[in-house]
Chains A and B, each alone.
Chain A
Amino acid sequence: MSQVTANMPESASSAPSEQATAELNRTWASPAGFFGWFTHVNHRKIGFRFIMTSLVFFVLAGVLALLMRLQLITPENSLMGPELFNQLFTMHGTTMMFFFAVPIMEGLGIYLVPLMIGTRDMCFPRLNAFGYYVYLIAGIVLYLSLFLGMAPAAGWFAYVPLANDMFSPGKGMDIWTTMITFIELSALTAAVELIVTIFKQRAPGMSLDRMPLFVWAILVMSFMIVFAMPTVMVGSILLMLDRTLMTQFFVVASGGEPLLWQHLFWFFGHPEVYIIFVPALGVLSAIITTFTHKRLFGYTAMVLSLVAIGFVSFGLWVHHMFTTGLPHLGLSFFTGASAMIAIPSGVQIFCWIASLWGARIRFATPMLFVLGFFAVFVIGGLTGVMVASIPFDMQVHDTYFVVAHFHYVLIGGAVLPLFGGIYYWYPKATGRLMSERLGRWSFALIFIGLNATFFPMHQLGLEGMPRRVYTYLETMGWGNLNLFISLSAFVLALGFGLTFLNMWMSRSRGTPAGPNPWDADSLEWATDSPPANYNFRHIPVVRSGTPLWDDAIANERQFVSGLRNDRREVLVTTLVDAEPQAVVILPQPTIWPVLLAVAVSIGFIGTIFSPWGFWLGFFLSFWMIVGWLWPRRPWQEN
Chain B
Amino acid sequence: MRERFVIDVGDFSRFNPGPQAPVWWGILGLVVIEATVIMAFIATYFYLRLMAPAWPPEGVEPPPLLLPSISVVLLLGSSMTMQWGSKCIENEQYNRFVVAMFTSVGLACTVLMLRWQQFQELGVPWDEHVYGSIVWTIMGFHFVHLISAAAGTLVVGILGIKRYFNPQQKIGVVVDTLYWNFVSLVWIPLYLVVYWVPRWL
Contacts and interface: CB of A to CB of B under 8 A. Distances in A.
Interface of A: 1, 3-6, 8, 10-13, 15, 123-124, 127, 188, 191-193, 195-197, 199-201, 204, 226-227, 230-231, 233-234, 238, 241-242, 245-249, 251, 254-257, 260, 263-264, 538, 541, 551-552, 555-563, 569, 571-572, 580-585, 618, 622, 626, 629, 631, 635-638
B164 A631 contact: yes
Interface in B1-30: 1-16, 20-23, 25-26, 29-30
Contacts of B22: 123-124, 196-197, 200-201, 572, 584
Interface residues of B, number: 57
Describe A's contact surface by its main secondary structure. mixed
A556 B36 contact: no
A562 B13 CA distance: 12
A557 B137 CA distance: 58
A556 B4 contact: yes
B130 interface: yes
A164 B4 CA distance: 65
A585 B128 contact: no
B44 A635 contact: no
Contacts of A264: 40, 44
A246 B125 CA distance: 10
A263 B43 CA distance: 10
Contacts of A230: 33, 36-37, 40
B26 A192 contact: yes
Given A3-B8, A254-B130, A581 B20 contact: yes
Contacts, number: 202
B67 interface: no
A159 B101 CA distance: 46
Contact of A234 (B13, B20, B40, B166): B40
Contacts of B14: 569, 583-585, 637-638
Interface of B: 1-16, 20-23, 25-26, 29-30, 32-33, 36-37, 40-41, 44, 47-48, 51-52, 57, 126-134, 136-137, 144, 147-148, 151, 155, 159, 164, 166, 169, 172
Given A193-B26, A255-B131, 6 more contacts: A3-B7, A188-B33, A226-B36, A558-B4, A572-B16, A585-B14
Closest 3 CB pairs of A and B: A562-B10, A12-B3, A192-B29
B30 to A, nearest CB: 7
Contact of B133 (A10, A13, A199, A241): A241
Nearest to A581: B20
Nearest to A13: B3
A637 B13 CA distance: 10
B7 A635 contact: no
B159 A260 contact: no
B23 A558 contact: no
Contacts of A636: 166, 169
B33 A555 contact: no
Contacts of A12: 3-5
A557 B7 CA distance: 12
A257 B48 contact: yes
A541 B36 contact: no
B126 A247 contact: yes
A145 B60 CA distance: 42
A3 to B, nearest CB: 5
B4 A255 contact: no
A254 B129 CA distance: 5
A255 B47 contact: no
Contacts of A631: 159, 164, 172
28 contacts: A4-B7, A8-B4, A13-B3, A124-B23, A200-B20, A200-B25, A204-B7, A230-B33, A230-B40, A233-B37, A247-B127, A247-B137, A249-B44, A249-B48, A255-B52, A255-B57, A255-B131, A260-B47, A551-B1, A555-B2, A559-B7, A560-B6, A560-B7, A562-B11, A563-B9, A582-B12, A583-B13, A635-B164
